[in-house]
């Protein structure tokens, strides 16, 4: 299984600011995803991070709000822009091979927006 780390593990941010979350994997992976888990809720896929091209966003999520980078096969960033209290969530990075038979998650970044 892949070992995934995320930075920061948690942060408290002010409304209107932006936060960039980093995801680092200990091996090259084909698929990288970003999920959001709002308090007491299930996971919602934000986007698939594509290496060398623009991320693929799910319905309800846009690049201006959640810009994503993936410069190589082991690293990705998610930025939460112009934050509001509704963005308070856990943000999870996830990786998988192309078959998606095993998908692993990072420890998450707990974001609180005040």
- Residues 56-85, mask of contacts with other proteins (x by CB under 8 A): --x---------------------------
Report the candidate in 42, 27, 51 with the shortest Cα–Cα distance to residue 102: 27
- The reply to whether 112 sits near other proteins by the rule CB under 8 A is no
CB proximity list for 42: less than 8 A, separation 6 or greater? none
- The reply to whether 53 sits near other proteins by the rule CB under 8 A is no
- The reply to whether 114 sits near other proteins by the rule CB under 8 A is no
- The reply to whether 107 sits near other proteins by the rule CB under 8 A is yes
Stretch that binds other proteins, among 12-20, 21-29, 40-48, 69-77 (CB under 8 A): 40-48
Q: Is 80 exposed, middle or buried (0-12, 13-18, 19+ CB in 10 A)?
A: buried
**Residues contributing to the site for other proteins (CB under 8 A):** 1, 31, 33, 41-45, 48, 58, 92, 96, 98-108
């Amino acid at each position: 299984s892949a070992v995934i780390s995320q930075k920061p593990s948690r942060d408290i941010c002010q409304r209107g600011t932006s936060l960039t979350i980093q995801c680092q994997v200990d091996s090259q992976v084909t698929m990288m995803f970003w999920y959001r888990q709002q308090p007491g809720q299930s996971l919602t896929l934000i986007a698939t991070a594509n290496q060398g091209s623009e991320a693929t966003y799910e319905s309800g999520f846009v690049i201006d709000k959640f810009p994503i980078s993936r410069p190589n096969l082991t690293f990705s960033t998610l930025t939460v822009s112009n934050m509001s209290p509704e963005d308070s969530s856990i943000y999870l990075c996830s990786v998988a091979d192309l078959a998606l038979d095993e998908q692993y998650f990072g420890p998450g970044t707990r974001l609180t927006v005040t």
